[in-house]
Structure 1
Amino acid sequence: MLQAEFDQFALEYQQQHAASIRLSGETPDFFAQYKIDDVAARLAHSGVKPRRILDFGAGVGNSLGPLRAAFPDSEITLLDPSSQSLDIARKRFPGQADFRHFDGETIPYDDASFDLAFAACVFHHIPENLHVALIKEIERVLTGGGSFFLFEHNPWNPLTTNAVRNCAFDENAVLINSRDVRKRMAAAGFSKSDVVYRIFFPRVLARLRPLERFLTRMPMGAQYFVHAVKPAV
Structure 2
Amino acid sequence: MRMSIACRPSFGVTPVFEAEFDKFADEYEREHAASIRLSGEAPAFFARYKINDVADVLRRRGEKPLRILDFGAGVGNSLGPMREAFPDSEIVLLDPSSQSLDIARTRFPGQAQCQPFDGETIPYDDGHFDLVFTACVFHHIPEEFHVGLLAEIGRVMKPGGSFFLFEHNPWNPLTLHAVKNCSFDENAVLINAVQMKTRMAKAGFLKTKTVYRIFFPRFLAKLRPLERYLAGVPMGAQYFVHAVKPGL
Q: Same fold (TM over 0.5)?
A: yes
- Match of 2:129? 114
Say which of 36, 54, 68 aligns to 1:53. 68
Q: In the comparison of the two structures, how many residue pairs are matched?
A: 233
Match status 1:188 vs 2:203: yes
Please state whether the residue corresponding to 1:179 is helix, strand or coil.
helix
* 2:180 alignment partner in structure 1: 165
Identical positions, percent: 73
In 2: Cα distance, 1:42 partner to 1:74 partner: 17
Cα distance in 1 for residues equivalent to 2:35 and 2:205: 33
Tell me how far 1:231 sits from its aligned partner: 1.0
1:175, 1:4 → 2: CA distance? 22
The TM-score, its normalising length taken from structure 2, stands at: 0.93
Distance 1:121 1:61 in 2: 13
Q: Which secondary structure state, in structure 2, belongs to the residue aligned with residue 149 of structure 1?
A: strand
Q: How far has the Cα of 1:8 moved from its partner? A: 2.2
Do the aligned partners of 1:105 and 1:134 also contact (CA within 8 Å) in 2?
yes
Aligned equivalents of 1:146 and 1:192: distance in 2? Answer: 12
Whole-Å Cα distance in 1 between the matches of residues 80 and 22 of structure 2? 22
Cα distance per residue 1:86-122 (max 9 Å; x no partner):
0000000010000000011110111011000000110
> Contact 1:112–1:144 at 8 Å: present in 2 too?
yes
- Secondary structure of 2:104's counterpart equals helix
Q: How does 1:8-157 map to 2 (within 5 A)?
A: 8-157=23-172
| Superposed displacement of residue 4, structure 1 | 2.7
User: 1-side partners of 2:20 and 2:148: how far apart?
Assistant: 21
Distance 2:229 2:89 in 1: 31
User: Matched residues in 2 for 1:227 and 1:29: separation?
Assistant: 22
Amino acid in structure 2 at the alignment position of 1:40 = A
What is the CA distance between 1:143 and its match in structure 2? 0.2
1:16 partner letter: E
TM-score (norm 1): 0.99
Could you tell me how far apart the structure 2 residues matched to 1:102 and 1:16 are? 24
CA contact (8 A) 1:5 1:169 kept: no
Unpaired runs of at least 5, structure 2: 1-6, 9-17
